[in-house]
Homo-oligomer: A and B are copies of this chain.
Amino acid sequence: MESVQKKRMLRIKSPEDMARFVKEQKKAGRTVGFVPTMGFLHEGHLSLFQKAVETSDCVIASVFVNPTQFGEREDYINYPQDTERDARLAEEAGVDALFLPDESAVYPNGTAVTVKVNEKTDVLCGRSRPGHFDGVATVLTKLFTIVQPDHVYFGMKDAQQVAVVSSLIQAFHFPVKMIPCPIVREPDGLARSSRNVRLNADERKEAAELRKGLEQGMKTLKQGERDFEKIADAVRSYYRGHLKLGKIDYVDVLNYPDLKRNGTVLSGRFIIACAVRYGRARLIDNITGSTAALFSEKEGEV
């Protein structure tokens, strides 16, 4: 940003106004960084804003709870929202413009035309949430066309989302660079999520075990195990011993970002991922890395 005095963050409602704002930025030669969110911002989002501020001239964030990516109506209706808090946090983090469109503005002709993701979706969250990534890809296609970003920032907590959005960018030739950012965690290791507020005290305490289970998988891997299922079994076994309230949705070990089992032996980049349900909250977590660099592994490597 040119001025020492930080400019106030713009709030933009309509796609037309956003397109105009972006056009001005590009005309002035500024690179545009974009962080799409569903709001109820937490430290994870703020780390994306920070990365965007560091690497783009103009930072645009969106808060839009996208109806088409929810399978369960209840989860959509109850998705936590606090726009005023979101706007304050975004402004403090250095966001230049916050896009707050209505559903009818984003979906002017409803679901007349949508995006379908045909690969990478039959595993992990894609299997548990049919249609979820179609909804994600649909709304991002719209947002990318409106915002025309040079860089987009996504958190690795949704590692499958990062993989799918990379496919989307490649398939539709969006002139945008995907910048995945590491998972941000609570002090006890729980991955930050807007859905964590739905946990009661006992669930919240137990949820710290999710990360520990994944670390058991990593330990097995570091000890030389390369069979996908045996690594996943180590995680499952840990959860059987430590989760009393949570119900496992999946534990899976796959090559990353293609999300396939290339034969039975894990090699190259990989992901150890889980989803666990606590009442109305479904939590996800993962560790990614590469077998080549196993002993210098750092979490969230992408």
A: residues with CB less than 8 A from B are 15, 19, 107-120, 137, 141-142, 145-146, 167-168, 170-175
A173/B112 in contact, CB under 8 A:
no
Majority secondary structure of chain A interface residues (helix, strand, loop or mixed) = mixed
Give CA–CA (A19, B173) in the complex, Å. 10
User: Given contacts A141-B141, A170-B108, A175-B19, is CB(A115)–CB(B115) below 8 Å?
Assistant: yes
The answer on a CB contact under 8 Å between A146 and B171 is no
Min distance, Cβ A238 to any Cβ of chain B, angstroms: 34
> CB < 8 Å: which of B15, B111, B120, B173 contacts A173?
B15
In the complex the two chains form, is B112's CB within 8 Å of A120's CB? yes
Contact yes or no, B113 A167, CB < 8 A:
yes
The complex places the Cα of A56 from the Cα of B119 at a distance, in Å, of: 38
Closest to A145 in B: B173
Q: Say whether, besides A145-B173, A171-B142, A173-B15, A114 and B109 are in contact (CB < 8 Å).
A: no
Question: How many copies altogether?
Answer: 2
Residues of B within 8 A of A175 (CB): 19, 145
- Chain B minimum-CB-distance residue to A106: B173
Q: Tell which of B19, B119, B120, B172 touches A141, judged by Cβ atoms closer than 8 Å.
A: B172
Chain B's nearest CB lies how many Å from the CB of A302?
A: 18
A23 nearest in chain B by CB position: B175
A45 and B258 alpha carbons, distance in the complex (Å): 41
Chain B residue numbers with a CB within 8 Å of A108 are 170-171
Q: Across the interface, which residues of B come within 8 angstroms of A146, CB to CB?
A: 173
When chains A and B are docked, how far (Å) is the Cα of A109 from the Cα of B165?
A: 13
Residues in chain B near residue A115, CB distance under 8 A: 113-116
> Complex Cα distance A137/B112, Å?
12
With A114-B115, A115-B115 known as contacts, the answer to whether A109 contacts B15 (CB < 8 A) is no
Min CB distance, A20 to chain B, in Å? 10
Contact across chains for A113 and B137 when beta carbons are under 8 A apart: yes
Q: Once the chains are docked, how many angstroms separate the CA of A211 from the CA of B145?
A: 40
CA distance in complex: A145, B112 (Å): 19
Closest to A147 in B: B173
Which B residues are CB-close (under 8 A) to A171? 107-109, 112-114, 142
Chain B residues with Cβ under 8 A from A170's Cβ?
108-109, 112
CB-contact partner of A118 in B112, B168, B174, under 8 A:
B112
Of B117, B120, B174, the contact of A145 (CB 8 Å cutoff): B174
- Across-interface contacts of A172 in B (CB, < 8 A): 113, 141-142, 145
